């Protein structure tokens, strides 16, 4: 007799993105020919940069010849890419060994799967509002969740938990609020984890969007983090790999937990990946190597700059018109406060109907997201400009 994992019923209520698409489609159908400006999803829009296209092409060409063809690679990833990433970290003053880096097909699966190397009894702390993957994967696994409020009063960076928390999920720069943690704020979580033998799971998918050199781009910039933190990273937002699929997770050999000495968690994640993952695409990994080349770094940095110029246009355009905006300074997301006390969905409808702009209702990210909208800076420049103009002309702040 097969029984279902009934916890899926506990997460199946979050239909936010489906509802966003459904409402936008219904509006488009009812208003044929009307241009709609989509700033809802956090999906990259600009083409891959030339050096990366060349890298991917090289990957394909290697597969086309008997001499250079490869099939399965190492589940942990191509040794050249792991070494290149270790050097990339080193160039930023961060010490991470190639054997501590596990290449993945993107950050999302690792965010969802990483807790499998910890006990089901672990309590998971997540920010509210939250990138839903951390929360839902732990609900499905049956773990207790503690919510850390990220609200206007604390600059959308939560205080330390005041109850037991074994796994602390942090995302900085943050999706959805766009807030970036300072060194001191991140250090407080590292110190908490060290004192409580907890583990921080640090999602740095937007690290390349940080404009202020004093803000940490890796948790390993904080003393002690190698003993208590896992970092999850991605080429998606920094190099447009949302569809190519490539990321990585760092599990330091020095990481410990209540019942794990040095090396154990690194070994467990290695075991998890070799058992349940068959390695990232060899073509994508050639693309990843190209991203890390000097030319790739230069070109992808320019692309991130482009998205950040979009963010600045949205921020300034809306702020000048009298809207209250947060984020968007070190992240491609602007956290827009709904005007006139409107709810997220109430403002969603008004933005769509009056300004023809689609944004994401903050309420879909947790209770503290109510009353906010996430506006994404991923979009073509002309779309961003038209969207801002349309909001300013058609919506009362």
Ligand X SMILES: Cc1ncc(COP(=O)(O)O)c(C=O)c1O
Q: Which residues bind ligand X (CB under 6 A)?
A: 42, 106-108, 111, 131, 171, 175, 203, 205, 234, 236, 242, 247
- The CB-of-105 to ligand X minimum distance in angstroms stands at 8
Q: In terms of CB distance, is 111 or 228 closer to ligand X?
A: 111
Rounded to whole angstroms, how far apart are CA atoms 173 and 208?
9
Rg (CA), the chain: 21
Distance CA 375, CA 326 (A): 10
- Rounded CA-CA distance 327/319 in Å is 12
CA 283 distance to own-chain centroid: 23
Q: Give the residue at shortest CB distance from ligand X.
A: 106
Per-residue b or e along 145-175, where b marks 16 or more CB atoms closer than 10 Å to that residue's CB: bbbbebeeeeebbbebbeeebbbbbbbbbbb
Q: What are phi and psi of 135, to 5 degrees?
A: -70, -55
Q: Which is nearer to ligand X, 41 or 151 (CB)?
A: 41
Give the nearer residue to ligand X in terms of CB position, either 106 or 279: 106
In the complex, minimum distance from the CB of residue 177 to ligand X, in angstroms, rounded to a whole number: 11
- Looking at residue 260, the DSSP 8-state letter turns out to be B
Spatial distance between the Cα atoms of 142 and 249, rounded to a whole number of angstroms = 23
Contact 285/103 with Cβ under 8 angstroms? yes
The rounded distance, in Å, linking the Cα atoms of 384 and 210 is 20
Q: Smallest distance from the beta carbon of 78 to ligand X, in angstroms?
A: 17
**Nearest distance from C-beta of residue 281 to ligand X, angstroms:** 13
Q: How far is the CB of 191 from ligand X (least distance, A)?
A: 23
Query: Is there a contact between 230 and 201 (Cβ–Cβ < 8 Å)?
Result: yes
| Closer by beta carbon to ligand X, 17 or else 69 | 17
Min dist CB 29 to ligand X, Å, is 27
What are the tokens at 18? 């489906």
Q: What size, in residues, is the chain?
A: 397
Q: 172 or 256, CB closer to ligand X?
A: 172
The Cβ of residue 325 has, within 10 Å, a number of other Cβ atoms equal to 20
Q: How far is the CB of 171 from ligand X (least distance, A)?
A: 5
CB 216 within 8 A of CB 222: yes
> Shortest gap between Cβ of 67 and ligand X (angstroms)?
32
**CB closer to ligand X out of 131 and 307:** 131
Question: Is the separation of the CB atoms in 376 and 301 below 8 Å?
Answer: no
Please, which residue, 46 or 191, has the CB nearer to ligand X? 46
| Nearest-approach distance from CB 133 to ligand X, in angstroms | 7
Number of H helices, E strands in the chain: 14, 13
Query: Quick one: 173 or 296, whose CB is closer to ligand X?
Result: 173
Minimum CB separation of residue 140 from ligand X in Å reads 17
Residue 103 or 265: the one with the smaller Cβ distance to ligand X is 103
Q: Nearer to ligand X by C-beta: 173 or 252?
A: 173
User: CB neighbours (10 Å) of residue 275?
Assistant: 8
CA distances from 175 to 152, 305, 334, 338 (A): 15, 18, 10, 18
């Amino acid at each position: 007799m097969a029984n279902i994992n009934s916890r899926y019923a506990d997460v199946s209520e979050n239909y936010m993105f489906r509802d966003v698409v459904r409402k936008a489609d219904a509006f488009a159908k009812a208003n044929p020919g009307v241009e709609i400006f989509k700033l809802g999803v956090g999906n990259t829009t600009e083409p891959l940069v030339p050096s990366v296209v060349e890298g991917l092409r090289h990957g394909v060409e290697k597969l086309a010849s008997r001499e250079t063809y490869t099939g399965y690679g190492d589940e942990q990833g191509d040794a050249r890419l792991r070494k290149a990433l270790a050097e990339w970290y080193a160039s930023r003053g961060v010490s991470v060994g190639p054997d501590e880096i596990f290449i993945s097909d993107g950050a999302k699966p690792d965010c969802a799967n990483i807790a499998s190397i910890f006990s089901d009894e672990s309590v998971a702390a997540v920010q509210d509002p939250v990138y839903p993957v951390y929360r839902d994967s732990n609900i499905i696994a049956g773990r207790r969740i503690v919510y850390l409020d990220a609200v206007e009063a604390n600059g959308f960076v939560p205080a330390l938990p005041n109850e037991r928390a074994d796994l602390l999920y942090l995302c900085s720069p943050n999706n959805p609020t766009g807030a970036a943690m300072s060194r001191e704020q991140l250090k407080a979580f590292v110190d908490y984890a060290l004192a409580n033998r907890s583990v921080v799971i640090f999602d740095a998918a937007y690290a390349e969007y940080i404009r202020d050199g004093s803000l940490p781009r890796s948790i390993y910039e904080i003393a002690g983090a190698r003993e208590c933190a896992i970092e999850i990273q991605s080429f998606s937002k920094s190099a447009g790999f949302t569809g190519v699929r490539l990321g990585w997770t760092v599990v330091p050999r020095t990481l410990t937990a209540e019942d794990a000495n040095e090396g154990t968690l690194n070994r467990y994640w290695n075991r998890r990946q070799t058992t349940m993952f068959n390695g990232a695409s060899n073509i994508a990994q050639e693309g990843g190597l190209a991203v890390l080349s000097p030319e790739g770094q230069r070109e992808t940095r320019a692309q991130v700059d482009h998205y950040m110029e979009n963010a600045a246009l949205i921020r300034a355009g809306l702020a000048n018109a009298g809207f209250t905006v947060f984020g968007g300074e070190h992240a491609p997301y602007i956290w827009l406060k709904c005007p006139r006390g409107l709810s997220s969905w109430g403002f969603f409808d008004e933005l769509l109907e009056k300004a023809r702009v689609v944004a994401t209702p903050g309420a879909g990210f947790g209770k503290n997201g109510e009353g906010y909208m996430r506006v994404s800076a991923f979009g073509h420049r002309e779309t961003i400009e038209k969207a801002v103009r349309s909001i300013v002309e058609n919506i009362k702040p």
